Amino acid sequence: MDTSTSIAIASIITAGVTTSFGCMAPALGEGRSVATALTALAQQPDASATITRTLFVGLAMIESTAIYCFVVSMILIFANPFWNHVIAQAPGK
């Protein structure tokens, strides 16, 4: 197995692990946030505007983590920085 194949395999596996863990943890966090917000809304209906606004800001912050992990996995698959190193050291150069 040559170097380019090893880099491709490592990139694909890392991208898969990054996407799976990077989407699993924020999904669990979002579910817990919504459950806690619904509990707070049931206990204090007068504060619904404040709770809802804070919930949406928190959900956006949690979701940005999943988006960053997705971006990293796309970079590993389509714009891998290690390819330049392999191409530069190719025997044809």
pLDDT digits (tens, 9 = 90+) for 13-51: 988 998 998 899 999 999 999 999 999 999 999 999 999
Q: What is the CATH number of the domain that holds 75?
A: 1.20.20.10
Q: Which residue has the higher pLDDT, 91 or 37?
A: 37
The count of C-alpha atoms lying within 13 angstroms of the C-alpha of 91, restricted to the half-sphere facing its C-beta, is: 3
Q: Which residue has the higher pLDDT, 25 or 80?
A: 25
pLDDT, residue 93, reads 56
Nearby residues of 11 by Cβ (< 8 Å), 6 or more positions away? 76, 77, 80, 82
pLDDT, residue 92, reads 66
Residue 93 within a domain: no
Handedness of CA 75, 76, 82, 87 (dihedral sign): negative
Q: Can you tell me the mean pLDDT for 73-92? A: 79
Residue 12 within a domain: yes
What are the tens digits of pLDDT across the range 44-60? 999 999 999 999 999 99
Residue 30 within a domain: yes
Into how many domains does the chain fold? 1
Domain housing 42: 3-88
